[in-house]
């Protein structure tokens, strides 16, 4: 009971913080406003902030949390923020609609999962038919992964009742029988498991190994007007990513502190996330595969090229 109350408090705190972040500071153009989602995927950003790596590189950074990638890309297009740590699918969909954005670095691979109620009889993909499944947003990575999982197992998506939910509240929606399953990013997959109100049907690493997840995105105006600042920012990202890979125990501490989660939850969540900062050939290929999946689902209409979506020229080699 105490653990449940603690994690409910954590979820409510996260939602409260998100709900008050649209009053952006106006202290001067020197500040770089960086959007992020409440997720273990953003560990490199949290580590950079905690280790004061931005300050050490003469960068003044203000972190701005969002509840969804869709909201974040709108803020980027409106130049309310400068840079975002965001799921890839809202970004590619926005570029397809004409937003002047570019993916400038990878952040992580994998890190999501489908969670069923602990007492459910759902053991395989076909058992999801005629049930209600919660996703963060239509067009989110979690939505895409659910489509892929069902397609791979010959289950018709139209036989599933889809509802949207704030990710931090998903475990408690499951507990209250608001839906039968949910698809979330970490640590909310592990939170459901840790509370013993949910059991993991499948991790995203088993749906699509090494699939792209979160990336760093910025506007073409920011690239054009502040290329040196972007290079310095991405240098910090590379450094902090390597740090959390080298020191996972520190990473657990940073995540627990930032998210208000339990160490044991973050320890479990990190088993299902791969952190990356430098794009390899597989990552680039998978971006185009992701776009193809989005097109098949009707979330993208145009034949986007790699150069329309990505600009990795500002990532330092180390």
Q: Tell me, what DSSP letter sits at residue 313? A: T
What helix, strand, coil percent values describe the chain, rounded to 5? 50, 20, 30
Domain ranges of the chain: 2-110+211-309, 112-207
CATH level 2 (architecture), domain 112-207: 3-Layer(aba) Sandwich (3.40)
- Per-residue pLDDT of the chain (318 residues), as tens digits, is 545 544 555 555 455 555 545 445 444 458 999 999 999 999 999 999 999 999 999 999 999 999 999 999 999 999 999 999 999 999 999 999 999 999 999 999 999 999 999 999 999 999 999 999 999 999 999 999 999 999 999 999 999 999 999 999 999 999 999 999 999 999 999 999 998 999 999 999 999 999 999 999 999 999 999 999 999 999 999 999 999 999 999 999 999 999 999 999 999 999 999 999 999 999 999 999 999 999 999 999 999 999 999 999 999 974
The CATH fold assigned to 2-110+211-309 is: D-Maltodextrin-Binding Protein; domain 2 (3.40.190)
Fold: same for 2-110+211-309 and 112-207: yes
40 — alpha (psi -120 to 50), left (phi > 0) or beta? alpha
- Residue 201 main-chain phi, psi, to 5 deg: -75, -45
pTM of the model: 0.91
Q: Could you tell me how many helices (H) and strands (E) the chain has, helices first?
A: 15, 12
């Amino acid at each position: 009971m105490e653990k449940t109350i603690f994690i409910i408090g954590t979820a409510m705190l996260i939602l409260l913080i998100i709900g008050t972040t649209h009053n952006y500071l106006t202290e001067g153009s020197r500040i770089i406003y960086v959007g992020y989602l409440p997720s273990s995927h953003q560990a490199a950003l949290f580590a950079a902030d905690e280790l004061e790596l931005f300050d050490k590189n003469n960068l003044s950074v203000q972190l701005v949390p969002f509840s969804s990638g869709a909201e974040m890309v709108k803020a980027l297009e409106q130049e309310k923020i400068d840079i975002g740590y965001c799921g890839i699918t809202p970004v590619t969909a926005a570029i397809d609609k004409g937003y002047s954005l570019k993916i400038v670095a990878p952040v992580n691979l994998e890190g999501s999962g489908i969670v069923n109620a602990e007492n459910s009889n759902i053991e395989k993909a076909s058992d999801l038919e005629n049930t209600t499944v919660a996703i963060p947003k239509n067009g989110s990575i979690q939505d895409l992964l659910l489509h892929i999982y069902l397609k791979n197992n010959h289950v018709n998506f139209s036989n599933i009742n889809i509802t949207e939910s704030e990710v931090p509240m998903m475990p408690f929606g499951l507990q209250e029988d608001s839906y039968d399953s949910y698809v979330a990013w970490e640590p909310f997959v592990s939170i459901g498991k840790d509370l013993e109100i949910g059991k993991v049907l499948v991790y995203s690493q088993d749906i699509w190994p090494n699939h792209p997840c979160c990336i760093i995105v910025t506007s073409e105006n920011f690239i054009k007007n502040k290329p040196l600042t972007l290079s310095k920012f991405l240098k910090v990202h590379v450094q902090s990513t390597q740090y959390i890979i080298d020191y996972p125990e520190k990473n657990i501490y940073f995540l627990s502190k930032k998210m208000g989660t339990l160490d044991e939850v973050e320890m479990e969540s990190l088993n299902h996330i791969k952190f990356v900062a430098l794009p390899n050939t597989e990552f680039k290929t998978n971006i185009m595969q992701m776009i193809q999946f989005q097109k098949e689902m009707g979330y993208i209409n145009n034949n986007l090229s790699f150069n329309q979506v990505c600009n990795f020229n500002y990532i330092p080699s180390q």
